[in-house]
Amino acid sequence: KKSNESLYVVRYSPNGKQVAVGSHDNHIYLFDARAGYRLRKTMSGHSSFITHLDWSVDSRILQSNSGDYAIIYWDAVSGKSLQSARDSLESDTLWASWTCILGFPVMGIWQDGWDGTDVNCTHRSNNGDLVVIGTDFGEVHLLNCPCVVKSAPRRSYTGHSAHVDSICFLCGDNMVISAGGRDKALLQFRVVDGSRGPVSPSQRCETVVHPDTQVRMAWKGVKREQRVSGKSR
């Protein structure tokens, strides 16, 4: 154990060779997964605890968010920050995942009146078309990705009785799993493509659509059925 503080986030590089660990001590620790998880680099630059991490597709760049809502980009080879190159990094880097709550592709997830504590987690679908977020109000929101307009259109779903701590698409993008904080609940949401025809009726129905101009019906039973009536970029 290299940190005396709690660890907030762990991310393997896409090539499986490195592990980045974000700590409450404001540092990111980079380990060599091929050499018994030997510590390679300690990345310093944040003035608050690390909340989110994502790797670039080529496993050479990391992006991090912190508790004071800062974004820093890192060279995973040297362990140095790349803040001076931020504009080109945002436009030119392909990210293997997107879980950061800050950054250009998710700038529209914030609604009027929200502050930085109101979004706890986010996850981009594996095909890059959608993003889901978990809020401090116990809600799960579905949006197009990238969502760059102010208070971007969305659909909101409930079920948690407390804040949502973590959320992710499964590998096929057909399911979303959310984890609650105080309620300690795991919820499973099914993502349904509206172009594939109706969902078999279950116990009761409600209008559940992806945010676009076309509204269709989905059926809601024990599991939460989420109708995607059109995927747009």
Alpha helices for the chain (secondary structure H): 86-92
| Cα 225 from Cα 22, distance rounded (Å) | 34
In whole angstroms, what separates CA 219 from the centre of its chain?
Answer: 27
Segment 136-188, tens digit of pLDDT: 999 999 999 999 998 899 989 998 999 999 999 999 998 999 999 998 999 99
| Cα 22 from Cα 133, distance rounded (Å) | 20
| Cα 148 from Cα 109, distance rounded (Å) | 8
Q: Where are the domains of the chain?
A: 1-97, 98-194
Taking the CB of residue 162, how many other CB atoms lie within 10 A of it?
A: 14
The residue ranking higher by pLDDT, 174 or 233, is 174
Do residues 152 and 132 touch, judged by C-beta distance below 8 A? no
Report residue 90: phi and psi, to 5°. -65, -35
Segment 96-150, tens digit of pLDDT: 999 999 999 999 999 988 988 999 999 999 999 999 999 999 999 999 999 999 8
Three-class SS state of 85:
helix
